[in-house]
Structure 1
Amino acid sequence: MTYRTVQSNGLTLFYLRYWHPIFAAWRATKQKVIARYHPEDLSRIFVSVDGKHFVEATFADLRRGRVSLWEQRSALRSLRTQGKEFVTEAKVFDAIDEQRRIVSRARSQTLGANRQGEALKELAPQILGEAPNLVLPNALVKGSEPAVDYNKPPSVFNVEPL
């Protein structure tokens, strides 16, 4: 919950602009409003003058999609580390889009690497059959015995006393 004053272009919260038709009347009376939001979805907020009757305000630019508070703060940190002192709503959304592209690219690369790992596990018996001198880690060979026999006592190593 936070208190704000409605400006001519709407209500700004977390560098994001919101609008509802009732804001025009509230702006004329210069009333402070109470804004409530859900951190997982900043695409809409709930605004009230008296704290009892809330109206739902959405982004002023209706083309914008859902954004979480975590994404907004991460984008803001990214903009600050890039040295951008003047932050606008457009810059915040551009930074969020870039972060989403990075995550999507990493996710697809991870899935590709996992698929390659699965393919290696399936090919391991064939590779061993073709080249018996090739040693693969035990995790790649299904049903193979571990290289260490844990039933035997450990070997003793001669070391210098301290």
Structure 2
Amino acid sequence: MEAAAPLEIVQIDHTKVDVTVVDPVTRLPIGRPTLTLAIDVNTRIVMGFYLSLEAPSLTAVALCLTHAVMDKTAWLASRGIAADWPAHGIPRTIHVDNGAEFHARAFERACGEHRIDLTYRPPGTLRWLVGRDRSGLTVKYDPRDLSCVFVAAGQGYLEARPADRTRPAIALWEHRAAVRTLREQGRRAVDEGLIFSTILAQRALIDEATRTTKAMRRDAARRAHLASTKMIDVTAEAGPLGDDEPLQLPYFVVEEWDD
């Protein structure tokens, strides 16, 4: 998708953030936030966003679009952010997928009132981000899977895949995180092999942390009954000598735990 000028086409879409929010006290996972983004196709600038733990909805779209059209000077100042964000204004066209929230009458009516053309991505097609690499080529890719990208060639696109087809599929955020980690380690030259080995190492750490967290939660559940349970008093009451009747101990339900 191409746009000749800023605000000609703005894409709005939702995505799950690759972060898990946890309870500040128990550290139990609450969930992954949903990020609703409005991106100007011509400049690739983020016009506005909305972040929430709720599922995609018309409310999220409305708040994201409101953030996109507003001047952000006061918004930045209220948060103590010393930066410029000049992107704002009403787009001529909004491009969205076929989610129910984008087909809501309220959304369609609001676009009509502000003379915004509303276009939908054909059903069954992937969510694409569009950009240009340093050589000036137009590249399309799915940010969730970089194992296949499409490069503009003439009136169409050519499919481009990595030379080593044994490499695992990776997401854009994993690639960026790996490069950032390698740079922080002082590596100037970063090649494909280092990136993939770093990503696999990061995945292993996450998997191990997940297993450890589950084990800690399981052990905590096993010990939960101990906090309010008193010690069993098995001291025999004083009685006449020769009184050797068996003690009557309380009965407890046995729980079986499988590792």
- Normalising by the smaller structure, the TM-score range is 0.5 to 0.7
- The equivalent of 2:231 in structure 1 is 130
- The equivalent of 1:111 in structure 2 is 214
Report the 3-state secondary structure (helix = DSSP H, G, I; strand = E; otherwise coil) of the residue aligned with 1:42. Answer: strand
Q: 1:123 Cα deviation (Å)?
A: 4.5
- In 2, Cα distance between equivalents of 1:102 and 1:62: 24
What's the TM-score once normalised by structure 2's chain length?
0.37
- The equivalent of 1:79 in structure 2 is 182
- In 2, Cα distance between equivalents of 1:39 and 1:73: 11
Q: 1:62 Cα deviation (Å)?
A: 0.2
- The equivalent of 2:152 in structure 1 is 48
The aligned amino acid for 1:48 is A
After superposition, the Cα gap between the structure-2 partners of 1:48 and 1:95, relative to the gap in structure 1 and judged at 3 Å, is same
The aligned amino acid for 1:47 is V
Structure 2: 5+ residue stretches without partners? 1-129, 234-259
Report the 3-state secondary structure (helix = DSSP H, G, I; strand = E; otherwise coil) of the residue aligned with 2:177. Answer: helix
The aligned amino acid for 1:39 is P
Count residues with an aligned counterpart: 104
- In 2, Cα distance between equivalents of 1:67 and 1:84: 21
- The equivalent of 1:2 in structure 2 is 131
Q: 5 Å matches for 1:13-162?
A: 33-50=137-154, 52-124=155-227, 128-130=229-231
State the Cα deviation string for residues 1-21 of structure 1 (Å, max 9, x = none). Answer: 334589xxxxxxxxxxxxxxx
Q: 1:118 Cα deviation (Å)?
A: 1.0
Runs of 4 or more, structure 1, over 2 Å off, are: 1-6, 122-125
Say what the alpha-carbon RMSD is for the aligned residues. Answer: 2.3
What's the TM-score once normalised by structure 1's chain length?
0.57
Q: 1:60 Cα deviation (Å)?
A: 1.3
State the Cα deviation string for residues 107-151 of structure 1 (Å, max 9, x = none). Answer: 0100100101111124545xx23269xxxxxxxxxxxxxxxxxxx
- In 2, Cα distance between equivalents of 1:85 and 1:117: 45
- In 2, Cα distance between equivalents of 1:112 and 1:40: 30
- In 1, Cα distance between equivalents of 2:199 and 2:185: 14
State the Cα deviation string for residues 57-112 of structure 1 (Å, max 9, x = none). Answer: 22211001110010000000100010000010000001101100110110010010
The aligned amino acid for 1:79 is L
- In 1, Cα distance between equivalents of 2:198 and 2:156: 34
- In 2, Cα distance between equivalents of 1:71 and 1:131: 54
Q: 1 or 2, which has the higher helix percentage? A: 1
Report the 3-state secondary structure (helix = DSSP H, G, I; strand = E; otherwise coil) of the residue aligned with 1:63. Answer: coil
Task: Identify the structure with bigger relative contact order (alpha carbons < 8 Å, sequence gap 6+).
Answer: 1
Identity among equivalent positions (%) equals: 32
Structure 1: 5+ residue stretches without partners? 7-31, 133-162
- In 2, Cα distance between equivalents of 1:106 and 1:4: 36
- In 2, Cα distance between equivalents of 1:70 and 1:131: 55
